[in-house]
Each structure stands twice: as C-alpha cells, then as structure tokens.
Amino acid sequence: MSASPLIEIKDLRIRFHGDDGRATHAVDSVDLSVANGATLGLVGESGCGKSVTSLAIMGLLPKQSAEITGAIRFDGFDLLKTPDQTLRDLRGNRLAMIFQEPMTSLNPSFTIGDQIIETILRHRGGSRKSARQRAIELLRRVHIPSPERRIDEYPHKLSGGMRQRVMIAMALACDPRLLIADEPTTALDVTLQAQILELMRELKAASGAAIILITHDLGVVAEVCDEVAVMYAGEIVERAPVDELFSTPQHPYTVGLLGSIPRLDHRAEQLATIEGMVPNMAQPPAGCRFAARCPFVLDACTRAPPPLVEISPGHLSRCIRAPLELLVS
C-alpha cells in the first residue's frame, strides 16, 4: 500500500435517530483506507453497516436523522465537512457509485443516452454533440452492442445485465478516481455476473481507479479484491489481504462465514452455521458484539469491547483470542 491512500476513513461513526428518540448505532469506529488502483472488499451480512458506510462516503445519508462523526479524507477534502455544492461537483465526477438494483436505479422516463449525457454535461461541460459522442464511446467500452442505436433506448427495453452495464458506463462517464460498487452483481445470473466482474477488472486495469466493492458473496470477493474488510454489527472485525483472509482468518465470525458457504471441491454433510442473532443495535452489548454467537468465547470477551489489533503485517482482527490458529494446533 502506498504512503498516501486515495481515500482514508478515520473513526467513522453513524447513528440514526428514530422518531421514538432512540439511536441505532449503524457504524462504529470504522477505519479504512484504499490506495490508488486497489480494490477493497467490504463484506458482511444484512444490517452490518456496509452500505451505510458507502452512503456516508457519497454524502447520501439523510441529514435530519443520521448523525455522522469522524473523518473521510478523499483527494484533499474531508467529505464530512465539505459543503453540498462541492460534494455535488465530486459525485458522479471523481467519486462514483453503482447500486445493486439496475432495475430501479435508472430513470424510466429518459433514454439511457440522456442520463449519461446529463452527467457529462454537468461535470465536463462542452457541447451536447461531443457529450453524446462520449456516451456512445462509454457504452462501447462496457460492451453494449450497437451503442449508436442503443443510446436512444429507454431503460425498460434493456435486460438486467444491460442496465447494470449502463449504470457502469454512467459511473465511468467522468473517469472517477474512486468507484463504489454496492452489490453490483447480486441481482444478476452467474453468466452475467462473470461478464460484469470481467468488465470491472478490465476498467480498473485501464483507468487505475480504486474500487470499494460491497458484497456478501465471498466468491466475488476472492475474484476481484486485493484487500478485504469484514463488518459485523457496525464494526470492522477483520481486515486482511485477500489471500490471508481465505487461508488464515483471524476472527471467529469470518471463520463462520467461510464455513457456511458450500464448496465445489468438498462435499460436507453439514455446513457450518452461526447460531443466534445479530445484537440489537439500539443497545449494543458492552463487550465483543459477536460474543453471544461465538463458540470461542471467554468470560473476558463480554467485559470490554476488544480493540482491532494487528496480528501479522496488514492483517487486523477484533478478537482477543487471535491468532486463532493457536486454538486448534
């Protein structure tokens, strides 16, 4: 990792204030950084705070109900202190995002061309004609066949895979430095998923952009990420280079996740399961948030929140029992 990362998140905390006056701790003390040209995977199950973190980076959380503290440094800005006007200049320009639902993230009443051209004109200016030319070029780059014709079609005419490619084309319109992809392939079939992952790899190689990939699919993570951060109940519980995460995970939750996915090469009679449920984040537990579901739990785990500790270079775990291999050797 280079000396100065492209984006650096320090002690990010997000609380949502409900109508009943109670606060939900969605994200707690998250530290992350991504270098130029690197891909970080953000992994975890529903409600762990991975999407909320990405929305905070984009400045898309509602101001009335979300209380955000910490710092998100990107390209010389602290995004949390940046005025809206400047944020609008960054979004879609140097910061771009792809959402999970290609079916609902395009405006049905404008052609895909209009939507891509709007982005280009907003950030780059120039004539409509040259913007259209660039839009066609972008559609070609994401392998949409006959882009000169497709550019004038409405989203409903396109299949799910095509729409996701349009979303990617739109995200790439202004050559972003950072691309956040929130479950970009979850709604797609494996064959399309393969195409989209291939495309993301291609584009990263060509443009050198950094990518934050949010997913619950560890297979996808293994394919495209350099580094992985595993989130549980609003906290990062493990951070590691991708190889190490899959070979020697250092947090019990990661072990549970890896054990619960069916393998192609190994027919287990029983898959590992993680018993119990995610804690109520209106009143997070005093100690380790995973303790109630953890088979490796000690009394000490429930007393104080464990810190995120470096176990080996670049490999961090929020577990007092790490390194875990000592438990089973």
Partner 1 sequence: MALLEVEGLVKHFVAERSLFGRALAHVKAVDGVSFSLEAGKTLALVGESGCGKSTVSRLVLRLIEPDAGAIRFEGRDLLSLDANTLRAFRREAQIIFQDPYASLNPRMTVGQILTEPLALHNLLPPAQRRERVAEILRLVGLEPRLERRYPHEFSGGQRQRIAIARALAVEPKLIICDEPVSALDVSIRSQILNLLRELQDRLGLAYIFVSHDLAVVKHIADHVAVMNLGQIVETAEADALFAAPSHPYSRALLSAIPVPKPRAKRSRIVLQGEIPSALNPPPGCRFHTRCPYVVDRCRSEMPQLVPDGTGHATACHRTSELPSSAAIVPSDGGFSPVLEKLVAAFSGGPEAVRGGGVSSLGTDPA
Q: Which residues bind partner 1 (CB under 8 A)?
A: 45-46, 145, 159-162, 189-195, 197-198, 216-223, 242-243, 246-249, 252, 255-277, 291-293, 295-299, 302, 324-329
Q: Which residue, 54 or 193, is less far from partner 1 as judged by CB?
A: 193
Q: Which residue, 96 or 257, is less far from partner 1 as judged by CB?
A: 257
Report the nearest approach of partner 1 to the CB of residue 162 (Å): 7
Closest CA to 68 of 102, 26, 98: 26
Report the nearest approach of partner 1 to the CB of residue 213 (Å): 12
Q: Which residue, 93 or 193, is less far from partner 1 as judged by CB?
A: 193
Report the nearest approach of partner 1 to the CB of residue 206 (Å): 17
Q: Which residue, 111 or 302, is less far from partner 1 as judged by CB?
A: 302
Report the nearest approach of partner 1 to the CB of residue 320 (Å): 12
Q: Distance between CA atoms of 276 and 258, rounded to whole angstroms?
A: 17
Report the nearest approach of partner 1 to the CB of residue 226 (Å): 9
Q: Which residue, 81 or 267, is less far from partner 1 as judged by CB?
A: 267
Closest CA to 262 of 273, 277, 247: 273
Strand partners, 215: 43
Report the nearest approach of partner 1 to the CB of residue 46 (Å): 5
Report the nearest approach of partner 1 to the CB of residue 124 (Å): 30
Q: Which residue, 113 or 161, is less far from partner 1 as judged by CB?
A: 161
Report the nearest approach of partner 1 to the CB of residue 316 (Å): 17
Phi and psi of 198, rounded to 5°?
-60, -45
Q: Which residue, 4 or 260, is less far from partner 1 as judged by CB?
A: 260
Q: Which residue, 130 or 186, is less far from partner 1 as judged by CB?
A: 186
Q: Report whether 37 contacts 209 (CB < 8 A).
A: yes
Report the nearest approach of partner 1 to the CB of residue 69 (Å): 28
Q: Which residue, 84 or 269, is less far from partner 1 as judged by CB?
A: 269
3-state secondary structure string across the chain: CCCCCCEEEEEEEEEEECCCCCEEEEEEEEEEEECCCCEEEEECCCCCCHHHHHHHHHCCCCCCCEEEEEEEEECCEECCCCCHHHHHHHECCCEEEECCCCCCCCCCCCCHHHHHHHHHHHHHCCCHHHHHHHHHHHHHHCCCCCHHHHCCCCHHHCCHHHHHHHHHHHHCCCCCCEEEEECCCCCCCHHHHHHHHHHHHHHHHHHCCEEEEEECCHHHHHHHCCEEEEEECCEEEEEEEHHHHHHCCCCHHHHHHHHHCCCCCCCCCCCCCCCCCCCCCCCCCCCCCCHHHCCCCCHHHHCCCCCCEEEECCEEECCCCCCCHHHHC
